[in-house]
């Protein structure tokens, strides 16, 4: 009798607990959504400014400024520059795609490049979340040095925006929680056994992000694309050259021991050849000659140093 009363009491409490969780969840979602748009817009402006910064570096300009990004219309942003510059269309396309790929709600956009003294568009392209709908043309034609303005237009948010998606997701989660409370409880050991694989999986998935691009003087080193970009030149790197230069780029003007380079680059392959490192260092020196301020020096008895004059 006592057991049946206890069960009935629990069943009366479960709907109340579920309703309370629902109310709390809705309040939390409302507060989390507040100001979300402002944060997204501020982050987007920083990314657009980064596009302008890298474009100037690729043209060999490391001194002039990217002017403040302006929102000139709904979902339309404008990047302006302090000085004139030239650019390669493929570098503009590659840089824009790489930087916007990781941003929310930026999978579709249209880019127009205008001359400051002209009304027409001198270059443009469109990118879609569906790669088959990308419109990119006129690659390989260097644009002359001039005053340029870059306008990037994003589509208006659809009926299911980030806010709505977050709200619906929260409601679904709370529905599951309510079901768990209403359903007869399982032994805690079973729950712990179910949770442990997810925890193990999370520990594997959540790895720190690796910086994908470095500015070495006036040279831009793109680790993922395995290329060096300098003004209108692009030089490809081999996989091993990229790994060696990546180690140097993470610690410029610091001595990197020869044994460390050999261990990190060749030990995984099971064979360490002493002369192999010298060969790749020599190849990297030749490719870094794009900027005379950069050199890989031998530190006798210790190793190597990537020196970058300020």
Asked whether residue 92 is assigned to any structural domain, the reply reads yes
DSSP-H helix ranges across 237-297: 239-249, 258-266, 274-287
173 shares its domain with 224: no
Where do we find the tokens 């530190």?
A: 299
DSSP-H helix ranges across 34-155: 36-58, 89-100
179 shares its domain with 53: yes
34 shares its domain with 118: yes
65 shares its domain with 105: yes
**Which stretch, 42-46, 130-134, 302-306, has highest mean pLDDT?**
302-306
* pLDDT mean over 29-45: 66
- 186/307: higher pLDDT: 307
| Residue 206 pLDDT grade (very low, low, confident, very high; cuts 50, 70, 90) | very low
Per cent of the chain over pLDDT 90 is 31
> CA 89 to CA 125: how far, in whole Å?
9
* pTM of the predicted structure, to 2 decimals: 0.49
40 shares its domain with 84: yes
Torsions phi, psi for 124 (to 5 deg): -160, 160
Asked whether residue 199 is assigned to any structural domain, the reply reads no
- The answer on pLDDT for 203 being more than 50 is no
- What's residue 235's pLDDT? 92
Asked whether residue 265 is assigned to any structural domain, the reply reads yes
Asked whether residue 60 is assigned to any structural domain, the reply reads yes
Asked whether residue 196 is assigned to any structural domain, the reply reads no
Torsions phi, psi for 216 (to 5 deg): -110, 95
176 shares its domain with 39: yes
Domain end among 138, 164, 183: 183
Mean of the per-residue pLDDT values for the chain?
77
pLDDT in tens, 121-172: 888 899 887 776 777 776 767 889 999 999 999 988 654 445 555 556 666 6
171 shares its domain with 231: no
* pLDDT mean over 25-54: 73
* pLDDT mean over 185-192: 48
49 shares its domain with 140: yes
Domain end among 164, 183, 202: 183
230 shares its domain with 278: yes
- The answer on pLDDT for 247 being more than 70 is yes
- 241/40: higher pLDDT: 241
Asked whether residue 189 is assigned to any structural domain, the reply reads no
Number of domains making up the chain: 2
Q: Which residue segment(s) compose the domain that 101 sits in? A: 1-183
- Which domain CATH number covers 217? 1.10.10.10
Tell me 81's DSSP state: B
* pLDDT mean over 18-28: 64
pLDDT in tens, 260-280: 888 888 765 555 555 678 888
- The answer on pLDDT for 94 being more than 80 is yes
- The answer on pLDDT for 310 being more than 60 is yes
221 shares its domain with 172: no
Asked whether residue 69 is assigned to any structural domain, the reply reads yes
- What's residue 277's pLDDT? 81
| Residue 238 pLDDT grade (very low, low, confident, very high; cuts 50, 70, 90) | very high
- What's residue 16's pLDDT? 62
- What's residue 19's pLDDT? 67
> CA 100 to CA 33: how far, in whole Å?
22
- The answer on pLDDT for 64 being more than 70 is yes
118 shares its domain with 9: yes
pLDDT in tens, 221-232: 999 999 999 888
Tell me 299's DSSP state: E
Asked whether residue 288 is assigned to any structural domain, the reply reads yes
Instruction: Give the gyration radius of the chain's Cα atoms.
Output: 27
> CA 166 to CA 176: how far, in whole Å?
15
270 shares its domain with 221: yes
CA 289 to mean position of chain CA atoms: 28
């Amino acid at each position: 009798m006592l057991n049946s009363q206890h069960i009935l009491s629990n069943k009366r409490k479960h709907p109340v607990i579920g309703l309370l969780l629902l109310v709390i969840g809705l309040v939390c979602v409302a507060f989390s959504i507040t100001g979300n748009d402002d944060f997204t817009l501020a982050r987007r402006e920083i990314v657009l400014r980064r596009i302008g910064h890298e474009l100037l570096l690729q043209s060999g300009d490391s001194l002039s400024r990217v002017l403040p990004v302006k929102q000139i219309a709904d979902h339309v942003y404008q990047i302006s520059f302090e000085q004139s510059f030239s650019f390669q269309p493929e570098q503009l396309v590659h840089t824009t795609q790489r930087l916007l790929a990781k941003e929310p709600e930026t999978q579709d956009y249209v880019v127009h490049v205008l001359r400051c003294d002209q009304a027409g568009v001198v270059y443009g392209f469109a990118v879609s979340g569906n790669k088959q709908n990308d419109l990119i043309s006129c690659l390989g034609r260097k644009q002359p040095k001039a005053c340029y303005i870059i306008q990037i237009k994003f589509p208006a948010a659809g009926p299911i925006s980030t806010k709505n998606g977050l709200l619906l997701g929260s409601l679904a989660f709370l529905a599951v929680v309510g079901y768990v409370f209403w359903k007869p409880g399982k032994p805690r050991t079973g729950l712990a056994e179910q949770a442990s694989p997810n925890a193990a999986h999370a520990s594997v998935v959540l790895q720190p992000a690796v910086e994908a691009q470095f500015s070495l003087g006036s040279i831009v080193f793109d680790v993922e694309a395995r290329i060096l970009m300098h003004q209108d030149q692009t030089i490809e790197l081999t996989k091993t050259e990229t790994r060696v230069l990546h180690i140097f780029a993470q610690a410029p003007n610091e001595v990197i021991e020869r044994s460390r380079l050999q261990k990190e680059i060749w030990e995984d392959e099971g064979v360490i050849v002493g002369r192999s490192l010298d060969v790749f260092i020599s190849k990297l020196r030749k490719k870094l000659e794009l900027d005379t301020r950069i050199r890989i020096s031998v530190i006798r008895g210790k190793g190597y140093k990537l020196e970058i004059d300020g």
